[in-house]
């Protein structure tokens, strides 16, 4: 028998036996590559790192107002007090003004709450018939009193008919609420919208009959300014024309000792400035976000009367209502749990 005949089968067996040793490394490499690809796919489907998720889950955007106005300052102070790391982060947002903030709250992404003037709702009644169900107030921040400051020859509101009256620059409370209030009175005037500092100088010269301020008293321009005899505030009676959005108010000698005599207070009205939120469904994540914001704010409201914060916080009453709106459910529930914790000092 030829020796090759016996050797051939043995060589074949040896060759076949070595094949797994050659193939296995390639198979292992393929498995490794597949595992890596699978890991990449899984990683792509995984949520972002936990801190990022928490930060976005508990961030509340608050529309403040113009950079030079009081509302954005109050929003920034709220943010300082309620900050709780990833558990709650408030972003105060500069906007076009407290009136425009209603529009931002209804339609702008990232806005959960806003500081508004209550009568701004009037503009949206026809556009958004259910506006008073879609928004709810968290806190009545402070009243902005109406100041109608006039020259000596003006003795009554009717004397202003047809005359120049300044309502400050567009975007301010006076520029929106002032003409609206005059319209409710049926009082037609020549409206101007220039900075009040400029208007007051023109008023001294007789070029403007009156200026309308809508802001929290006292106003520095009247408190510190020197005015000739006869310059004064006109009274504005509070009646049924103003019951929907406004509150009764008074200017007295304690506010303006150089302009108002003791015992002769000037009646006026006030526009509530309120912190409002979108009325999210109770089981939604955004409702829970606002509810946590409310709890932090109400629980820490006393910190806002400490030095370094706006003095207006000292007069805040958590239980104060806002005409025309219902209270945000989480705020109402908080007050019912703590019926005596109503003022910042408590």
Is 83 in contact with 59 (CB distance < 8 Å)? no
Could you tell me which residue, 22 or 197, shows the higher pLDDT? Answer: 197
User: Does 53 have pLDDT greater than 70?
Assistant: no
Q: How far apart are CA 226 and CA 161, in angstroms?
A: 27
Spatial contact of 253 and 79, defined as CB atoms under 8 Å apart: no
Q: Give the torsion sign (CA, 176, 178, 182, 187).
A: negative
pLDDT at res. 47: 59
Measured between alpha carbons, how far apart are the two ends of the chain, in Å? 113
The two tokens of residue 246 are 């406004």
Over the stretch 286-319, which tens digit does the pLDDT of each residue have? 999 999 999 999 999 999 999 999 988 998 999 9
Helix (H, G, I), strand (E, B) or coil at 32: helix
CB 78 within 8 A of CB 90: yes
Range with the poorest average pLDDT among 7-16, 63-72, 135-144, 332-341: 7-16
- In whole angstroms, give the CA distance from residue 346 to residue 336: 15
pLDDT value for 56: 76
Which helix (DSSP H) or strand (DSSP E) does residue 200 occupy? helix 196-204
Q: Which CATH code, of 2.40.40.20, 3.40.50.620, 2.40.128.50, 3.40.190.10, is assigned to 50-141+273-337?
A: 3.40.190.10
Percent of the chain with pLDDT over 90: 64
Strand duo 210-215 + 135-150: pairing: antiparallel
Please calculate the CA angle 203-180-172 and round it to the nearest 5 degrees: 60
Q: What are phi and psi of 129, to 5 degrees?
A: -55, -30
b/e code 9-46 from CB counts within 10 Å (16+ = b):
eeeeeeeeeeeeeeeeeeeeeeeeeeeeeeeeeeeeee
- Nearest CA to 113 out of 63, 50, 65, 77 is that of 63
Residues 6+ apart with CB under 8 A from 156: 234
Q: Does domain 143-272 have CATH number 3.40.190.10?
A: yes
d(CA 289, CA 202): 49
For the stretch 205-224, pLDDT in tens is: 999 999 999 988 989 899 88
Where residue 98 falls among pLDDT bands split at 50, 70, 90?
confident
Q: Are the folds of 50-141+273-337 and 143-272 the same?
A: yes
Helical H runs in 93-172? 101-107, 131-134
For residue 30, pLDDT over 70 is answered with no
pLDDT of the residue at 38: 57
Residue 179 near residue 117, CB atoms below 8 Å = no
Tell me the chain's radius of gyration from C-alpha atoms.
33
Nearest to 277 by CA among 210, 331, 317, 229: 331
Please, are residues 156 and 234 in contact by the beta-carbon 8 Å criterion? yes
pLDDT tens figures, 251-270? 999 999 999 999 999 999 99
Judge contact between 222 and 212, C-beta under 8 A: no
Domain extents in the chain: 50-141+273-337, 143-272
Phi, psi of 334 (to 5 degrees): -65, -45
Contacts of 53 (CB under 8 A, 6+ apart): 47
Stretch 219-244: mean pLDDT: 93
pTM: 0.75
């Amino acid at each position: 028998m030829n020796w090759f005949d016996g050797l051939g089968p043995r060589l074949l067996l040896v060759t076949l036996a070595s094949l797994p040793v050659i193939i296995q490394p390639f198979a292992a490499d393929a498995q490794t590559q597949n595992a890596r690809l699978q890991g990449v796919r899984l990683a792509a489907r995984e949520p972002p790192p936990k801190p990022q998720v928490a930060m976005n889950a508990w961030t509340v955007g608050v529309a403040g107002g113009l950079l030079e106005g009081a509302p954005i300052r109050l929003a920034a102070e709220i943010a300082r007090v309620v900050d709780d790391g990833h558990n709650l982060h408030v972003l105060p947002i500069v906007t076009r003004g407290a009136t425009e903030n209603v529009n931002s709250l209804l339609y702008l992404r990232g806005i959960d709450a806003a500081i508004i003037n209550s009568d701004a709702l009037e503009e949206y009644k026809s556009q958004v018939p259910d506006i008073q169900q879609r928004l709810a107030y968290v806190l009545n921040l402070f009243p902005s009193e109406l100041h109608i400051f006039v020259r000596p020859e003006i003795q009554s509101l009717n004397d202003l008919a047809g005359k120049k009256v300044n309502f400050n620059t567009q975007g301010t409370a006076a520029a929106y609420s002032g003409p609206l209030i005059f319209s409710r009175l049926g009082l037609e005037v020549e409206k101007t919208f220039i900075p009040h500092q400029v208007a007051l100088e023109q008023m001294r010269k007789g070029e403007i009959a009156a200026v309308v301020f809508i802001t929290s008293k006292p106003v520095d321009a009247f408190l510190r300014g020197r005015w000739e005899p006869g310059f004064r505030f006109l009274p504005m009676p509070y009646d049924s024309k103003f019951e929907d959005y406004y509150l009764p108010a008074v200017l007295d000698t304690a506010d303006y000792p150089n302009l108002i005599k003791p015992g002769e207070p000037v009646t006026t009205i006030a526009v509530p400035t309120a912190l409002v939120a979108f009325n999210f469904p109770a089981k939604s994540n955004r409702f829970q976000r606002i509810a946590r914001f409310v709890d932090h704010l109400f629980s820490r409201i006393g910190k806002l009367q400490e030095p370094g914060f706006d003095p207006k916080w000292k007069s805040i009453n958590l239980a104060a209502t806002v005409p025309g709106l219902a209270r945000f459910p989480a705020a109402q529930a908080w007050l019912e749990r703590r019926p005596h914790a109503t003022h910042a000092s408590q």
